[in-house]
Copies of this chain bind each other. A is one copy, B any other.
C-alpha cells in the first residue's frame, strides 16, 4: 500500500470541479514507456484499514487506455463520466455514464476512451489483492484472433 492509498478519515470531502475531491490526491495523467497504458489518472476515494474494499476513480483522456491485464481479484466498475469502450474477456462493449461493468477473476480487461471525450469510472476492489498479470505474445495473439477484439486493441472498436 503506497502513500496515495491512505488518507485521513475525514467525515465529508466535497466534490470539486472536473471530477476531483477535497483531500484526494490526483495522480496526473501519465504515460507508460512500453505503452502498456496511456493517459490514465487515478484517485483513491476510500481506503481504510477497517474496510475490506477500496474505492478508486480512474479517468482516461481521449484516445487513452488502461492496462490490458488480468488477475485473481475482481473489479466492480461504474462508468462515471463520458463514453468509451471496454474489453472484458472476449467481449467488446460500448459503455457510457452510469453503466455497470463486472470483471470476473482471471479475465482480460481494458478500458478505452474511444470517442474523443474523457472516460471516467469508479472501481471497487478488495484491499487485499494479487498483482495484475500482463498478456504474453501468445495471449495477445489469442485475443486478436477475434476481429472485434483486434479492432478494439487498435483503438478502433467501431471499425
Residues of A within 8 A of B (CB): 9-15, 19, 21, 24, 45-46, 48, 50-53, 55, 73-74, 76, 78-79, 88-89, 91, 93, 95-102, 104-105, 122, 124, 126-128
Contacts and interface: CB of A to CB of B under 8 A. Distances in A.
B93 A74 contact: no
A11 B89 contact: yes
B93 A53 contact: no
Contacts of A105: 50
B100 A21 contact: yes
A12 B88 contact: yes
A1 B125 CA distance: 20
Contacts of A46: 76, 100, 102, 124
Nearest to A24: B100
A24 B48 CA distance: 28
12 contacts: A9-B102, A11-B101, A12-B91, A15-B96, A15-B98, A15-B99, A45-B76, A46-B100, A50-B73, A52-B126, A52-B127, A122-B122
